[in-house]
Amino acid sequence: MPAKGVDARVLTGESLLARFTALDAFLTEHQALWKPRPFTHLQLPWETTYPELADWLRGRSLEAAESAHTQPALLEAPEPFASLAAMSLSLSAVGELPTHALEAAGHRLNVDVPGRKWQQIEAFASRLQFADAPKHWLDWCSGKGHLGRRLLQTGQQLTCLEFDPALVASGQALSQRHHLHALHVEQDVLAADTASLLKDEHTPVALHACGDLHVRLIQLASAAGCKQLAIAPCCYNRISLTQYSPISSAARGSDLQLSLDDLALPMSETVTAGARVRRQRDTSMARRLAFDLLQRQLRGVDEYLPTPSLPSAWLDKPFADFCHHLAALKELSTIGPQDWSAWEAAGWQRLAQVRNLELLRGLFRRPLELWLILDRALFLLEQGYEVRLGTFCETPLTPRNFLLLAERA
Ligand SMILES: C[S@@+](CC[C@H](N)C(=O)[O-])C[C@H]1O[C@@H](n2cnc3c(N)ncnc32)[C@H](O)[C@@H]1O
């Protein structure tokens, strides 16, 4: 939902580069505010520049942070928060793509599809409008191929590419059960031979294919001469390199250098979880933050120490055991007698501070996501496509709700 007074339009033509340029300037100028992660810093570098904002954020509760998390720009916090929030809202405003009435889905086609996934598929499919009717859908990283089957109409063909053999087999069985003629191919789309599978008559569609996977599609589809494609990207940080490698000439000319941690920012919006899941997530983070305080003392080094992700059963251990095991895992010196409840309380206090300080980074979450997707859009523009970039559903259905439509005359 665009904020009041913000002009939210589908981006196309020259507005793609204009928006990219504005976002690039905003993100580059304020890197010091969004790159350092509160989780790994006891004190963030910007806190000395903006002490009033830092104190204000640090003084708030965990519940207050939680309630502002999905829409940090609506928080009335001291400057420069308010000005940055206004910039964030206007720079990330993008309109909804127009919908068209979908043919009714085949009988029981949504059986076996989780409800939310089916709604995403319906929303995605209802925004696909191309000058030429697609002849052959190519469902890229298709899972079981639910999206492709939903799109398939009489007279059209469908090929699904997926590398998980179990999903390929389930997809094939589902297509047979619905009497739909679809080819489910077991294929690693990153493999060299994938290029030979793309044909100019294909209309590739990709719903939530991760980083390298959808970038690969953009490159192969444009090289194969596909006339049209539709991509809703996801997980920009799932890439094989350790730094982001831009694909458009505008992004290649940017001063912004993005690490994997930076690329994870757009995905840091946590979906609304139930109370139990939230409690588990919070406990895990509070314990890690407490352990971080402890390890700094044990090592005598005031630096964050990365720890591996741990099985959730670790949260059932008493806190002291949790720390002993984690210290052993990290080969730290023996922990002497400790006031465990004080450490644990310090972890919870730090969690509240971290979550509130993260609200400032949150203002850059959507702008960075838009910068990344505009890199893809501008690359397609350079390849001779007309590009439309808009949203295909509301955020609660999926925060990864940008859809890129490209077609060549
Ligand atoms: C997030 S899921 C999306 C699946 C489907 N498009 C959907 O919306 O339900 C990503 C899919 O990509 C597949 N995948 C991951 N890496 C792949 C690769 N290298 N080649 C082909 N498929 C891959 C996964 O197995 C998974 O099914």
Compute φ and ψ for 88, nearest 5 degrees. -60, -45
Say whether 12 sits in a helix, a strand or coil.
strand
CA distance 205 to 202: 9
Mean pLDDT of the chain: 95
pLDDT of residue 310: 86
106-136, pLDDT tens digit by residue? Answer: 888 998 899 999 999 999 999 999 999 999 9
Strands 386-391 and 11-12: antiparallel
CA of 229 to the centre of ligand 1 (A): 17
- With beta carbons less than 8 A apart as the criterion, state whether 114 and 143 touch: no
Strands 402-407, 386-391: pairing kind: antiparallel
Ligand 1 atom at minimum distance from 140 CA: 6
Q: Which atom of ligand 1 is nearest to the CA of 164?
A: 25
251 φ, ψ (degrees, to nearest 5): -70, -30
Going 369 to 373 to 378 to 379, the CA torsion angle's sign is positive
Whether the predicted pLDDT of 137 surpasses 90 = yes
Q: Which of 163, 214, 215 to mutate to test the pocket of ligand 1 (most atoms within 8 A of CB)?
A: 163
Q: Which of the 8 DSSP states describes residue 177?
A: H
**Range name among 52-56, 78-82, 121-125, 295-299 with the lowest pLDDT average:** 295-299
What pLDDT sits at residue 213? 98
Residue 63: its pLDDT value, please? 95
| CA 258 to ligand 1 center in whole angstroms | 24
Determine the atom of ligand 1 nearest the C-alpha atom of 139: 6
Distance CA 93, CA 389 (A): 11
pLDDT digits (tens, 9 = 90+) for 223-244: 999 999 999 999 999 999 999 9
Residue 2, pLDDT above cutoff 60: no
Q: How confident is the model over 314-325, as pLDDT tens digits?
A: 899 999 999 999
Smallest CA separation from ligand 1 atom 19, residue: 188
Ligand 1-lining residues (CB < 6 angstroms):
117, 141-143, 146-147, 162-164, 167, 188-190, 207-209, 213
pTM: 0.94
Give the Cα separation of 133 and 203 in Å (integer): 9
% of the chain residues with pLDDT over 90? 87
- Strand 182-186 with 157-162, pairing: parallel
pLDDT of 1 > 60? The answer is: no
pLDDT of residue 249: 98
Out of 122, 141, 398, mutate this one to test ligand 1's pocket (max ligand atoms within 8 Å of CB): namely: 141
Q: How confident is the model at residue 334, as a pLDDT?
A: 79
User: If you measure from the C-alpha of residue 143 to the centroid of ligand 1, how many angstroms do you get, rounded to a whole number?
Assistant: 5
- At residue 263, what are phi and psi to the nearest 5 degrees? -70, -20
Ligand 1, atom 12, residue with closest C-alpha = 141
Mean pLDDT of 370-389: 98
Ligand 1 centroid to 76 CA: how many Å? Answer: 40
Q: pLDDT at residue 278 above 80?
A: yes
Structure tokens at 288: 């890690």
What average pLDDT does the segment 48-53 reach? 98
Q: How many CB atoms lie within 10 A of CB 58?
A: 16
Instruction: Give the model's pLDDT for residue 331.
Output: 87
Contact by Cβ (8 Å): 211, 141: no
The residue assigned the tokens 């739909």 is 180
Residue 252 pLDDT > 70: yes
The answer on pLDDT for 105 being more than 60 is yes
The closest residue, in CA terms, to atom 1 on ligand 1 is 208
